[in-house]
Structure 1
């Protein structure tokens, strides 16, 4: 069923951006607006919404029975494998009054070739609509925030279980399997986690064959994310198998100081650039500025990464309903790395950190 409040807000956004329409292909944007959880494939499908509030759904015959939840709200234009989608798309534009020149934004979930074929021979200007819904989706309602809390609590439980599993003699890939099995067995849909041990942890987003064996006196960085009930969790912890070296302990304490200080800066009206600077300045003052190689954080919700981004480039004030990560790191390539990540949300009560698993230095 289409959420009519969201639909109306989208219409307002189209008018603000001076866009004639948006085509929402299979993506989290389409799910957000219609509840339909399609995935991109070889048959183009999606909803087109105009700035006048008119709409249609382009639907392959193969998926016609999946339209029952929205067919009372939006005209369904069906196409088959013989005729392909171009004729149905053109008919849809005529149906909503866009037969002349127009500007249409296209969301994620559509291949470039399909977009080109859809507008071929038409006087249509194609516009990047990847972030069109960001002002809506970055502000979570109370139900969404509760789903985010639930997802993060499950990640907390996974990390707790993981502390009894990590030990010398197992491989990085074994830890990956443990994490994914935990979330799947509890009803979640995990993404493949980042598990980086030893020198592999010196790369912010290590992801290779994961065949390194965990050894005594080792370091293991674990970044686990995924979904429960359609909403994301994301958390990073760095563990020590045996006592850390003096340098490892020092780096860990710097990252933890930066992470806690940045969290303290989070409040309604705060500027993401300033929050990023709070963590970055601490790391830089300790001489590791060049080893912090990414933005401080990213928004999270139906997607694992979405607006608002907590970066040097973002000067838009935070608002109630925002949810995002705070994840500083220091990465010493060829040696080791440390990252600590929590999710933070802004509610009517203020800042709320929704990961409760301890982040003080942990020796397993």
Structure 2
């Protein structure tokens, strides 16, 4: 149980004029309590009020998994015979919520369970999906160091996969290589995005084809995952053999856009303006419509979290933010290029933590 985070959450509830929040199984629950549950058919989670009172709704099956918090949070146990509704309502009564409380529900709870939990009460359900974002988007020194270490492992993976790519192997071979590297080094990878040739012309290729790498191919690899609970994420685009003139031109445009955006990053910078720097360069070269996503996303315990580096975000960046800068150009049916780095803002200024080369690489 992290008491500082618990207290900050209580302060946040008061700022947002919420009576309570239900932290369902998610990174939000882990962030505050340290409990690493995944959503399943048995509802569980911690309810915290704006007065700092709390309880943990716990299926009997998981009673032994919550020993680490039982000194801090009362455990209300329910079993499969009675199900959770009455126990949840008992918890609301115990913490003394008002007659018509406003309760935020975070990620990790199904809509049906939320409806069943509040049925027969006067609870006003509030979207708590981004409630903890102001807390979680500001990483402390320990979190930043964990993210540096995770990114350093991704650097090592990219160096290894660069030597592995060759004509004749399948996209699925590269996927397995990336995942095996991270798993064998203690990481928990997500399935990487690996797209070759015309498949790279889609920003998020869904691997609906199992294409063979060919001579003079584009190979785009987007590798993300976790080490010690914190994320890494990086995209690099390689060329198998000499690129065409257009491929080289597009790569240089994307790199120019990324470097310019990274130069714009600083404490106090507006994400919308950073996005515009990269987008304006790509548009100036005639590829504006081929850059069809935001410039970047925050990263931490989740692969995508606040702050988002997008046209719709005008909240200034602050010390402790960590995020991606990843412009791309995607020419559907032909090829695509994306280059993605992770950056963080520290007391010393800005820092790029993905150190693998992003100069045009011919394999």
1:99 CA displacement: 5.6
Aligned counterparts of 2:207 and 2:219: Cα–Cα separation in 1: 15
Would the aligned equivalents of 1:14 and 1:21 in 2 still touch at CA under 8 Å? yes
Q: What is aligned with 2:5?
A: 6
The DSSP-based 3-state class of the residue aligned with 1:164 is helix
**Are 2:42 and 1:47 equivalent residues in the alignment?**
no
Pairs within 5 Å for 1:1-364: 2-98=1-97, 100-364=99-363
TM-aligned CA distance change 1:53 to 1:14, over 3 Å: same
The DSSP-based 3-state class of the residue aligned with 1:363 is coil
Would the aligned equivalents of 1:258 and 1:280 in 2 still touch at CA under 8 Å? yes
Would the aligned equivalents of 1:239 and 1:363 in 2 still touch at CA under 8 Å? yes
1:207 CA displacement: 1.2
Aligned counterparts of 2:31 and 2:329: Cα–Cα separation in 1: 35
Aligned counterparts of 1:42 and 1:322: Cα–Cα separation in 2: 34
Aligned counterparts of 1:154 and 1:128: Cα–Cα separation in 2: 36
Instruction: Give structure 2 stretches of 5+ with no counterpart.
Output: none
| Deviation sequence 1:153-182 (CA, Å, 0-9, x none) | 000000000011000000000000000000
| Deviation sequence 1:8-55 (CA, Å, 0-9, x none) | 111111111111100000000000000000000000000000011110
Would the aligned equivalents of 1:26 and 1:109 in 2 still touch at CA under 8 Å? yes
Aligned counterparts of 1:84 and 1:270: Cα–Cα separation in 2: 49
TM-score by length of 2: 0.99
Would the aligned equivalents of 2:226 and 2:232 in 1 still touch at CA under 8 Å? yes
RMSD, matched Cα: 0.6
The DSSP-based 3-state class of the residue aligned with 2:223 is strand
Aligned counterparts of 1:281 and 1:99: Cα–Cα separation in 2: 52
Would the aligned equivalents of 1:93 and 1:99 in 2 still touch at CA under 8 Å? no
The DSSP-based 3-state class of the residue aligned with 1:236 is strand
Q: Which is worse superposed, 20-29 or 5-14?
A: 5-14
TM-score by length of 1: 0.99
1:209 CA displacement: 3.2
Instruction: Give structure 1 stretches of 5+ with no counterpart.
Output: none
Aligned counterparts of 2:291 and 2:285: Cα–Cα separation in 1: 12
1:208 CA displacement: 2.4
Aligned counterparts of 2:208 and 2:261: Cα–Cα separation in 1: 34
Aligned counterparts of 1:66 and 1:218: Cα–Cα separation in 2: 49
Would the aligned equivalents of 2:195 and 2:207 in 1 still touch at CA under 8 Å? no
Q: Report runs of 4+ in structure 1 exceeding 4 Å deviation.
A: none
Would the aligned equivalents of 2:234 and 2:342 in 1 still touch at CA under 8 Å? yes
Aligned counterparts of 1:176 and 1:253: Cα–Cα separation in 2: 26
How many pairs are equivalent?
363
| Deviation sequence 1:256-294 (CA, Å, 0-9, x none) | 000011001110000000000000000000010010000
